[in-house]
């Protein structure tokens, strides 16, 4: 069974119920909505169709301080052209007004750097950009201004409206683009008061890297968004930055998603390049919890095939994954117990690990060690169940065990009924016993499933 989770961006190519059903069968664990494109009718359709086919989370991207272009029609530009872009309702405009912060000579890169321009003219309400590399400008294209710290608001008015949509439709994950500091995450949490799901910080600029420690502490999960990151910093730095960010996420048990251009060629052809296959594999070897497909599944010709290919790469690569966790002394009880579980899993012929968890924290702590055994996380919280869909090697199960006197037996029986445990399996169970403290899973029991079920019947 695949352990690496797959996030698929949903768009015109994958919106239909039957396509989504095939993508879930192929390995999709989370459906993403990119709000740079589409409208609320489409977003609502995505949520409804995903929930019709599977009990998996929906992630909504908020554009936040990300700079994007707005235009009603595509425009082809050639080297030497001067492009006029405004900040309001011009034929082509930016989604944030930063004209007071821009200077003649500044570089502006469009569409992940494919179109490179230089500011040669500055008016009261528009900029004149000299095109240095040709391309096609389309609505929603991202724009990067390297080495420039723009003072733009964390959330736009549209972002605030999308947050309300997410709350009304019980969306499980909000991802903030271009997160610059912990303050951006704090602003998002304040603006989304009442939202109980996961907050993901997308790291895609120099500020996000510089302030990563505080961002990691403030957020629930991280996305390494390499498209814009490779424009904002030197592209040759991206691989080592990716490894560093993933390692730090693993250390704290925070889920991390590696994203952008992973199987880009499969937008137009049924097979990836060898370099793309290696890219996905290396992200998994780095320790990523999840990999993400963007245009490949949103507008590409082969959404199901792209998902299946990513799953195949994952299952082959997972044979070689290893723990990269360093000993950092005592943190809390669950952290310590998870280290003990890793050692037991190495020394004993265990088949599976079952964690009985409220928030999913202990499951995340165990997952980071990349143990070979499957981790089944049983939670009485439906939101926690869906949040765990992003965590490497974890099979989340919703089951309210709280009224059961013998929770180990009740959970074992439930999982056996669901055919997730076999009678011959030897299983390690962990749970919080006689405590209501957070992060305090303090019990480890090891049982053969047949024995624990037979013993309960006799008693």
SS3 204: coil
Which of these is catalytic: 68, 243, 368, 370? 68
Tokens of 357: 């968890």
Phi and psi of 20, rounded to 5°?
-60, -40
What are 374's strand-pairing partners?
Answer: 352
Q: Give the span between the Cα atoms of 287 and 248, in whole angstroms.
A: 10
Within 10 Å of residue 244's Cβ, how many Cβ atoms? Answer: 14
Q: Quote the DSSP letter at residue 440.
A: -
Tokens of 191: 């603006």
Q: Which residues are CB-neighbours of 63 under 8 A, at least 6 positions away?
A: 35, 36, 95, 156, 158, 159, 177
Q: Give the span between the Cα atoms of 253 and 257, in whole angstroms.
A: 13
SS3 263: coil
Q: Quote the DSSP letter at residue 318.
A: G
Nearest CA-CA partner of 408 in 352, 354, 457, 340: 354
Which of these is catalytic: 4, 9, 258, 260? 260
Q: Is 68 a catalytic residue?
A: yes
Q: Which residues are CB-neighbours of 194 under 8 A, at least 6 positions away?
A: 167
SS3 34: strand
Nearest CA-CA partner of 142 in 201, 226, 208, 60: 226
Sign of CA dihedral 82, 85, 86, 89: positive
Tokens of 412: 């074992």
Which of these is catalytic: 32, 226, 243, 370? 32
Q: Give the span between the Cα atoms of 83 and 129, in whole angstroms.
A: 5
CB of 441 closer than 8 Å to CB of 355: yes
Q: Is 434 a catalytic residue?
A: no
Within 10 Å of residue 384's Cβ, how many Cβ atoms? Answer: 22
Q: Is 32 a catalytic residue?
A: yes
What are the angstrom distances between the C-alpha of 73 and each of 52, 90, 130?
34, 12, 20
SS3 56: coil
Tokens of 297: 């599944």
Sign of CA dihedral 377, 380, 381, 385: positive
What is the layout of strands, in order, in the sheet containing 143-144?
69-71, 92-94, 82-86, 126-131, 115-122, 107-110, 143-144
What are the angstrom distances between the C-alpha of 166 and each of 33, 56, 155?
11, 15, 15
Q: Is 457 a catalytic residue?
A: no
Which residues are part of the catalytic machinery? 32, 68, 202, 260
């Amino acid at each position: 069974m695949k352990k690496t989770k797959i996030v698929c961006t949903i768009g015109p190519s994958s919106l239909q119920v039957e396509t989504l059903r095939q993508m879930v069968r192929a390995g999709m664990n989370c459906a993403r909505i990119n709000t740079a494109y589409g409208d609320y009718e489409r977003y609502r359709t995505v949520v409804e169709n995903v929930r019709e086919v599977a009990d998996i989370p929906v992630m909504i991207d908020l554009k936040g301080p990300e700079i994007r272009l707005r235009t009603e029609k595509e425009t082809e530009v050639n080297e030497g052209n001067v492009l006029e872009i405004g900040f309001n309702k011009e034929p082509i405009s930016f989604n944030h007004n930063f004209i007071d912060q821009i200077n003649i000579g500044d570089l502006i890169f469009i569409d992940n750097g494919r179109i490179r321009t230089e500011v040669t003219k500055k008016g009261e309400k528009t900029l004149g950009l000299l095109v240095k590399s040709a391309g096609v400008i389309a609505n929603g294209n991202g724009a990067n201004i390297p080495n420039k710290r723009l003072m733009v608001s964390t959330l736009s008015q549209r972002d605030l409206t999308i947050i309300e949509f997410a709350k009304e439709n019980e969306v499980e994950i909000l991802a903030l683009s271009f997160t610059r500091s912990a303050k951006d995450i704090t602003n998002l949490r304040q603006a989304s008061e009442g939202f109980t799901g996961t907050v993901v910080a997308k790291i895609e600029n120099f500020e996000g890297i510089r302030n990563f420690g505080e961002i990691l502490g403030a957020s629930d999960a991280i996305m390494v968004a390499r498209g814009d990151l490779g424009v904002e910093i030197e592209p040759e730095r991206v691989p080592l930055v990716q490894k560093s960010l993933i390692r730090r996420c693993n250390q704290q048990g925070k889920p991390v998603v590696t994203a952008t251009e992973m199987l880009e060629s499969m937008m137009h052809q049924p097979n990836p390049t060898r370099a793309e296959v290696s890219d996905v594999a290396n992200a998994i070897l780095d320790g990523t919890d999840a990999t993400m497909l963007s245009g490949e599944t949103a507008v590409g010709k082969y959404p199901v095939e792209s998902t299946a290919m990513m799953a195949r790469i994952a299952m082959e690569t997972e044979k070689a994954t290893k723990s990269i966790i360093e000993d950092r002394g005592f943190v809390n009880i669950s952290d310590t117990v998870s280290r003990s579980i890793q050692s037991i899993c190495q020394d004993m012929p265990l088949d599976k690990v079952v964690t009985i968890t409220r928030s999913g924290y202990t499951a995340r702590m165990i997952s980071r060690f990349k143990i070979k055994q499957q981790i089944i996380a049983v939670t009485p919280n439906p939101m926690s169940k869906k949040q765990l869909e992003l965590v490497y090697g974890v099979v989340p199960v919703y089951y309210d065990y709280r009224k059961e006197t013998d929770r180990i037996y009740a959970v074992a029986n439930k999982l056996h009924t669901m055919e997730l445990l076999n009678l011959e399996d030897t299983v390690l169970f962990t749970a919080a016993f006689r405590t209501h403290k957070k992060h305090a899973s303090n019990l480890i029991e090891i049982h053969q499933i047949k024995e624990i079920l037979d013993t309960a019947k006799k008693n």
